[in-house]
A and B are shown apart, each in its own frame.
Chain A
Amino acid sequence: MTRKDDILSNVLKHEMLKDKYHLSQKAMPKTIKEALSSSNPIIKSIALLIDNLENTTPTSDTVLRNIITQYLNESAL
């Protein structure tokens, strides 16, 4: 398991995802690759964040913001 997957699995254990977003642990992606393909905005946003920050050359704050905010704005429509 890579560090990205490890961080992801730790974060996806949070109760809020089950309580507020009704996501069961079974339905949770196991890897960052799976999470990046998720159709759930919060899962994908988390995955985008981890994927960017754990890269050897992380993107700048502005680029990161554009990626995530743009995705969320569009997915919320």
Chain B
Amino acid sequence: MIIKKISLENFLCYYGVKEFELSNGLNVILGNNGEGKTKFFEAVDWLFNGDDRNLDLLVSAKALHETEKNESFRVRVSIDVEQYNEKKSIAKSFIVKKGGKNESLISNYMLEGVEETSTGERCQVDGKSLLNRVFPFQIRKYSMFKGESELNIFKNEDALINLINLFSDAKHFEKYSEKCAFLRDKAEKAVEDATKCDKKNQGLYKKLTSEIEDLKNEEYKIRVHLNSVEEQIAKIEGKLQEAECHVKNADALETINKRIKIIEGKISDINKMIDENYTTSLFDENWILVNFEPIQKEFSEKIEKLNIKKRELQSEFDRQIGQKEGEKKAKTELLNNLIPLPVGVPSKAYMEEMLKDEFCKVCNRPAPKGSEQYDFMSKRLEEYLNSQAPVEEDKSIKVLFENDYTNRLSTLSVSHEDNLANLRKIRFKIKQLFRFNDSRKKDVEEQILALEKEKADRERIIGDSSIGAEKLIDVLKNYNSWQADKTLRYKEKIDYQKKLDDNIELIKKKTEEKENIDLKTAQTFQIKTREILRDIEKIFVETKEKKFDGFIDQLEKKSNSIFESLNIESFTGTIYFNKKVIGEKMSVIPELQENGRTFYKPNQSLLTSMHISILFAISELAFEKSEEEYPVIFDAPTSSFGEDKTFQFLNLIYETENQKILLIKDFLATDKTSNKLVIKKEFSNVNRNKAFWVVLERPFDKNNLSTINTNVITL
């Protein structure tokens, strides 16, 4: 089926009648954003799949504005198609009658069909049935795609069943699986009933049946867990792959961050070593005394001179004092006869002994108490004792150097002299400290240079990465935790797989036990019937699976062949249809693989290529099955491609067989001199069978829909 013409009449931005005379092969419709591409797509979608709801939302505002009150106009979308050399037209329309301001009355909604035979005879037919005949509903579902997100048809759970129903022989075997299961069930029941009739078997048989049932329930649960773990592994793998493109950078960033930290630590340590508290050292460490020695020398010389002078003065003073005292003493001695004891009396004790003995040992004759001799001795002793009594100092005589400052200065000078050895070291210490600080400052400068280099490297890494530094560090953290998680999940998977295997083995064992009882008890014909029905069920189920796998294999091969041609000279990987069966539900997920490894996070452009390849493969399958081609309509399918890849893409799909209508915004630019929208020269190199440009009539007011009218220019 080929769409020869699409006509839009007063449909949204298409005011009046606008026609697209299409060709077989590639039809490209160019249009800037908001100039009518999507409205074209919506018009066709409304014709194929729409109904009579919200019709007022499809009316051209300009048509409504231009129409007089109580006047009517038509909103219509129609296609002219050619099928088996016969022309057919399908049109969907309704009438709008303008009422008061902004009011409209909708009527006469209809879907019409017209068939024209090869002889040129035209006849009116039911539009809906004609549409389903020329373009079956199931095929239409895989013919129209808006944006890149809709291209993944397998997002829809029913897509696989629909495709199988459309294209695979597997659909013929579906009912056999059900019927065979029913027949086998009944045969099982017949055997069971027969076995149960034998009462001796009842207990054990019941027990085995219950155990097998429990084990099967358990098996289902394990399969659910296993599937869940597999899904988790796939998710983790996806995250890891996404992170992998950053993780190399993240790894390098972490290393550099560590190095930066070490260098910063070194700088801090070196800075701590630098001692520049010179003011403190000036006083606490006596640095201020670094030039004290000559002062001390001068001080010392002065003190010495002072001491000499002092000694001279003191000597003179002492002499004078001595003289005075000598004079005084001499006077006293003269007064006291100078001899305290008589001649021949050696000491005070000798005199006291003579008095005690009342005998004069000088005269060698007795001197009794009261005698003249005795009184003489006693008087002389008293005089002696009086002369020996301490003489009170003469307070009238003053000390020359009352405070002894000179001595103190001398002591200070001596002390300074003693300390000079230490003071002499200060200069060396200062030199040493300055040298040390200078050296450390040089170290700091070197470390700062190294730090700047590391920081520059870090900037480069962050610049090379598509994500920021913080996220890059997070990526590494997450990457490591995801790796650990993955290992854990794989372990879980192995555990569940083992549980499942054990369970299956146990079911097999119990079933054999149960069947042994059947063999001994039930009738042979019942056993044989059951066995044949079991085998028939297996044969049909496996034949269906083989057909299904064959279809998927065919789809996969075709998709990959197209996928490869769409991505010449760039990485494609391989499209792989991952079949999953949980319980009775089967699903197929198309994945990209590289050497058998699933590529979880392909970029949007690659993903779009993959989805388009699958859609084209389905389109080819449709052709092979029905020996008829159907058109595909894509609205902005290559937004993520960029103009170069779109150019390449268009030239490649030009080579494919069926009719394609592509709405794209590429190859348009504003001319700098005229400031008008123009088609780029590059578009002339795009292979296509037909091209159109949908462009808003200028001038228009973007805030006033009644000024909006899209013109169709055939290029």
In the bound assembly, the distance between CA atoms of A11 and B172 in angstroms comes to: 12
Set of chain A residues within 8 Å of B533, measured between Cβ atoms:
45, 68-69, 72
Contact pick for A10, options B169, B179, B182, CB 8 Å:
B169
Set of chain B residues within 8 Å of A27, measured between Cβ atoms:
none
Closest CB of chain A to B546's CB: distance in Å? 8
CB–CB A65/B529 < 8 A: no
Set of chain A residues within 8 Å of B532, measured between Cβ atoms:
41-42, 45, 72, 76
A3, A20, A61, most chain B CB atoms within 10 A = A61
Contact pick for A49, options B172, B180, B187, B543, CB 8 Å:
B180
Tell me which of B242-250, B381-389, B534-542, B657-665 binds A.
B534-542
- Closest residue on chain B to residue A74 by CB atoms: B525
In the bound assembly, the distance between CA atoms of A7 and B529 in angstroms comes to: 22
CB–CB B179/A64 < 8 A: yes
Closest CB of chain B to A71's CB: distance in Å? 9
Contact pick for A11, options B175, B524, B526, B540, CB 8 Å:
B540
Q: In this assembly, does B491 line the interface, its C-beta being within 8 Å of a C-beta of chain A?
A: no
Q: In this assembly, does B173 line the interface, its C-beta being within 8 Å of a C-beta of chain A?
A: yes
CB–CB B547/A10 < 8 A: yes
**Which B residues, 163 to 177, have Cβ-Cβ distances below 8 Å to chain A?**
169, 172-173, 175-176
Set of chain B residues within 8 Å of A41, measured between Cβ atoms:
532
Q: In this assembly, does A73 line the interface, its C-beta being within 8 Å of a C-beta of chain B?
A: yes
In the bound assembly, the distance between CA atoms of A3 and B269 in angstroms comes to: 89
A73 with B526, Cβ < 8 A, contacts A14-B543, A42-B536, A64-B183 known: yes
Type the 1/0 row for B527-558, where 1 means its CB is closer than 8 Å to any CB of A. 01100110110111011000100000000000
In the bound assembly, the distance between CA atoms of A73 and B179 in angstroms comes to: 18
In the bound assembly, the distance between CA atoms of A53 and B175 in angstroms comes to: 8
- Closest residue on chain A to residue B547 by CB atoms: A10
Q: In this assembly, does A17 line the interface, its C-beta being within 8 Å of a C-beta of chain B?
A: yes
A49 with B536, Cβ < 8 A, contacts A65-B186, A69-B186, A69-B187 known: yes
In the bound assembly, the distance between CA atoms of A77 and B175 in angstroms comes to: 30
A16, A50, A53, A68, most chain B CB atoms within 10 A = A68
A7 with B172, Cβ < 8 A, contacts A16-B535, A42-B535, A72-B528 known: yes
Q: In this assembly, does A46 line the interface, its C-beta being within 8 Å of a C-beta of chain B?
A: yes
A17 with B176, Cβ < 8 A, contacts A64-B183, A68-B183 known: no
How many cross-chain pairs have Cβ atoms below 8 Å apart between A and B? 69
A69 with B183, Cβ < 8 A, contacts A14-B539, A17-B539, A42-B536 known: yes
CB–CB A73/B529 < 8 A: yes
CB–CB B186/A72 < 8 A: no
- Closest residue on chain B to residue A46 by CB atoms: B536
Set of chain A residues within 8 Å of B525, measured between Cβ atoms:
72-74, 76-77
Contact pick for B539, options A6, A46, A69, CB 8 Å:
A46
CB–CB A61/B536 < 8 A: no
Set of chain A residues within 8 Å of B176, measured between Cβ atoms:
7, 49-50, 53
In the bound assembly, the distance between CA atoms of A16 and B535 in angstroms comes to: 8
Contact pick for A69, options B529, B538, B543, CB 8 Å:
B529
Set of chain A residues within 8 Å of B180, measured between Cβ atoms:
49
A11 with B539, Cβ < 8 A, contacts A3-B172, A41-B532, A45-B532 known: yes
Set of chain B residues within 8 Å of A73, measured between Cβ atoms:
525-526, 529
Closest CB of chain A to B187's CB: distance in Å? 7
Closest CB of chain B to A29's CB: distance in Å? 15
In the bound assembly, the distance between CA atoms of A64 and B180 in angstroms comes to: 10
In the bound assembly, the distance between CA atoms of A45 and B539 in angstroms comes to: 12
Closest CB of chain B to A75's CB: distance in Å? 9
In the bound assembly, the distance between CA atoms of A69 and B532 in angstroms comes to: 10
Closest CB of chain B to A74's CB: distance in Å? 8
Set of chain A residues within 8 Å of B547, measured between Cβ atoms:
10
**Which A residues, 1 to 25, have Cβ-Cβ distances below 8 Å to chain B?**
3, 6-7, 10-11, 13-14, 16-17, 20
Set of chain B residues within 8 Å of A68, measured between Cβ atoms:
183, 533
- Closest residue on chain A to residue B173 by CB atoms: A7
A61 with B182, Cβ < 8 A, contacts A11-B540, A20-B535, A42-B535 known: yes
Type the 1/0 row for A35-60, where 1 means its CB is closer than 8 Å to any CB of B. 00000011001100110010000000
Closest CB of chain B to A42's CB: distance in Å? 5
- Closest residue on chain B to residue A64 by CB atoms: B179
A16 with B172, Cβ < 8 A, contacts A69-B186, A76-B524 known: no
- Closest residue on chain B to residue A50 by CB atoms: B176
A65, A74, A77, most chain B CB atoms within 10 A = A65
- Closest residue on chain B to residue A61 by CB atoms: B182
Set of chain A residues within 8 Å of B187, measured between Cβ atoms:
69
In the bound assembly, the distance between CA atoms of A6 and B180 in angstroms comes to: 18
CB–CB B179/A53 < 8 A: yes
In the bound assembly, the distance between CA atoms of A76 and B528 in angstroms comes to: 7
Q: What are 8 A-B residue pairs whose CB atoms fall within 8 Å in the complex?
A: A6-B169, A14-B539, A16-B538, A53-B175, A65-B183, A68-B183, A69-B190, A72-B533
Closest 6 CB pairs of A and B: A76-B528, A76-B525, A72-B529, A14-B539, A73-B525, A11-B543
Given pairs A10-B169, A53-B175, A69-B190, 9 additional interface contacts (CB within 8 A): A10-B173, A14-B539, A14-B542, A42-B535, A45-B532, A65-B182, A72-B525, A74-B525, A76-B528
